[in-house]
Amino acid sequence: MAKITVFEAGWCTHVACVALKGAGLASCRFPSRAYLIETARGRWLWDTGYAQRFLDSTRSGLFAWYRRITPVHFDASAALVLQLREKGLRPGDLNAVMLSHFHGDHIAGLKDFAGVPTWLSGAGWNETRSLRGLAALRQGFIPDLIPAGFESSLLAMESFETIELASSLAPFARGYLAPGADGEIVLVHLPGHAAGHMGAFVNTDEGWVLLAADAAWSPRSYEELVGPSRLAHVIMQDSGAYYRTLQDLHQLHKAGGARICLTHEGAL
Ligand SMILES: [Zn+2]
């Protein structure tokens, strides 16, 4: 069975009701998490959290708007690569880094893992890779965070073998089998939040866990089907798809098929 270790690599603040309708105007803290998944056969990283490079890339100019919208708190000691080193792990010990999507708070640490194979949604990356300037900012994508030679390390999840999921994971029916993980990691599309947004079902001792990234910002969203405010729709890739994904999470949660882990949950 796979083991999941949770890390927090920085956090941002945001007005509560933007993330969850009706949650009030208080400024809340949203941790940026990354996850280490270990099986008998390897180790994978799910996202990278914030990193010093995020602060450097958003200090001035157009991308400073990113930080104005979501003020970021990051201490250099929280860098994921350092937190892994404390556990005795180096980037070369990882089978792959998996990216849930390409927002800056998920990819900021990528340069610390340069050369490590990276798995992502190929369709999402194709939509994102050429974005620059305002078009990039509007998608929450900071091109400076991408390491040189990144594309030679990529594997698109769409190229993986597809499998039928256990019926207990309905309404999710099919997924992409993570190579080398003995069926303990299965990737699925969770569309709506951003281009290429995906999740990972991980089979653990406590049962299936779904790493659902930013499919919601609060468990209440999928428990009670309460979305974020309309303001948040501006940064969504496709709000219709977002609410269909939320409905799927709601059904999965109600049936108890998997425990859902959101990257930024905690404040609400
Ligand atoms: Zn995001």
**Any idea which residue has 């309708």 for tokens?**
21
Distance of CA 235 from the midpoint of ligand 1 (Å): 9
Confidence of residue 34 (pLDDT cuts 50, 70, 90): very high
User: Which strand (E) or helix (H) includes residue 223?
Assistant: helix 219-224
- Residues, beta carbon < 5 Å, ion ligand 1: 103, 214
Distance of CA 194 from the midpoint of ligand 1 (Å): 7
Distance of CA 14 from the midpoint of ligand 1 (Å): 13
Strand arrangement, sheet containing 27-39: 72-73, 3-15, 27-39, 42-46, 96-98, 118-120, 154-156
End-to-end CA distance of the chain: 30
pLDDT of residue 226: 87
Domains in the chain and their CATH numbers? 3-261 (3.60.15.10)
Distance of CA 84 from the midpoint of ligand 1 (Å): 23
pLDDT greater at residue 21 or residue 61 = 61
Q: What tens digit of pLDDT does each residue of 188-225 get?
A: 999 999 999 999 999 999 999 999 999 999 999 999 99
Confidence of residue 127 (pLDDT cuts 50, 70, 90): very high
Q: What tens digit of pLDDT does each residue of 156-190 get?
A: 999 999 999 999 999 999 999 999 999 999 999 99
Q: Work out the number of other CB atoms within 10 angstroms of the CB of residue 8.
A: 16
